[in-house]
Chain A
Amino acid sequence: NAGVTQTPKFQVLKTGQSMTLQCAQDMNHEYMSWYRQDPGMGLRLIHYSVGAGITDQGEVPNGYNVSRSTTEDFPLRLLSAAPSQTSVYFCASSQGVRDQPQHFGDGTRLSIL
């Protein structure tokens, strides 16, 4: 059972480039979300999805797009990378929408030069 798988593990981009961070889960979870983790700030929610075809914004959505065409996959797209988006990105999933613990991937470490 792989759980939540994120790719790539590391990435370096130049300012203005675009890229997609991949997230896949094999637990048939309805709820998926993307967080960024920065020193001293804790995990902050970027976007989330309560099921295929449904997405919504979190606390820090600007500069990021998401889509949820299948239950398993929830990619995060950076439209035009900026140095402020240098961070560690985590994808998570849970069985239900509320009150359920989230299962996290091991993150993508992204540097924007």
Chain B
Amino acid sequence: EDQVTQSPEALRLQEGESSSLNCSYTVSGLRGLFWYRQDPGKGPEFLFTLYSAGEEKEKERLKATLTKKESFLHITAPKPEDSATYLCAVQAGNTDKLIFGTGTRLQVFP
């Protein structure tokens, strides 16, 4: 069964304290892995798409990487405005559907 697991569930960081969020997946043939950011009361906002192992994408303080079993979202020197829930989703095989993880809730304190 296709599955996506995110860890940790919650993460508290001091401003400037770098860390990583994990998304591990089990799917039959990965077509794409997606990272989203979700602020309270809002819909998910697209961040990155990764398609193959070894691929990396960067945007400001965020960097996403992909292996055959997991993806990491690295946050370098985070700021309070990076506080949000980060969601990972995969699209597998010949399906038209996305499978979402339950997210990591990140809080960055000044």
State the main secondary structure of chain B at its contact with A: strand
Find A106's partner among B32, B34, B41 (CB 8 Å cutoff).
Answer: B41
Residues of B within 8 A of A92 (CB): 43
Using a Cβ cutoff of 8 Å, how many contacts connect chains A and B?
57
Residues of A within 8 A of B45 (CB): 104
Q: Are B97 and A48 in contact (CB under 8 A)?
A: yes
Q: Does B109 contact A (CB under 8 A)?
A: no
Find B98's partner among A40, A102, A105, A106 (CB 8 Å cutoff).
Answer: A102
Question: Looking across the interface, which residue of chain A has its beta carbon closest to that of B45?
Answer: A104
Q: Are A101 and B49 in contact (CB under 8 A)?
A: yes
Question: Looking across the interface, which residue of chain A has its beta carbon closest to that of B96?
Answer: A97
A–B pairs, 27, beta carbons within 8 Å = A4-B43, A40-B102, A42-B87, A42-B100, A43-B44, A43-B89, A43-B98, A43-B100, A45-B97, A48-B96, A48-B97, A56-B96, A59-B97, A90-B43, A90-B44, A98-B32, A98-B91, A99-B31, A99-B49, A99-B51, A101-B34, A101-B46, A102-B46, A104-B36, A104-B43, A105-B43, A107-B42
